[in-house]
Amino acid sequence: MPEIARNMKELQEGRKDFSFESRELLERAGYTLGYDRPLIVRCFDSRLDPIFAAFLMENGWSHQDVISVPGGARALGSSDSADKATRQTIFEAIKTGIAVHEAKWILLTIHVDCRSYGITFPSDEAEKEKQKQDLAEAVRFVSASLSPEFFVEGRFVDGRGIHPV
Q: Write the DSSP symbol of residue 25.
A: H
Question: What CATH number has the domain bearing residue 78?
Answer: 3.40.1050
- Asked if pLDDT for residue 6 goes beyond 80, the answer is no
Please say whether the beta carbons of 55 and 162 come within 8 A: yes
Amino acid at 164: P
Give Cα 36 distance to the centre of its chain.
16
Task: Indicate the average pLDDT of the chain.
Answer: 81
Domain that includes residue 157, residue range: 3-164
- Asked if pLDDT for residue 85 goes beyond 90, the answer is yes
User: How do beta strands 151-158 and 161-164 pair?
Assistant: antiparallel
The pLDDT confidence band at residue 144, using thresholds 50, 70 and 90, is very high
Higher pLDDT pick, 98 / 23? 98
Report the pLDDT value the prediction gives residue 79, as an integer from 0 to 100: 87
CA distances from 44 to 34, 116, 128 (A): 27, 10, 19
Number of compact structural domains in the chain: 1
pTM for the whole structure: 0.77
- Asked if pLDDT for residue 67 goes beyond 50, the answer is yes
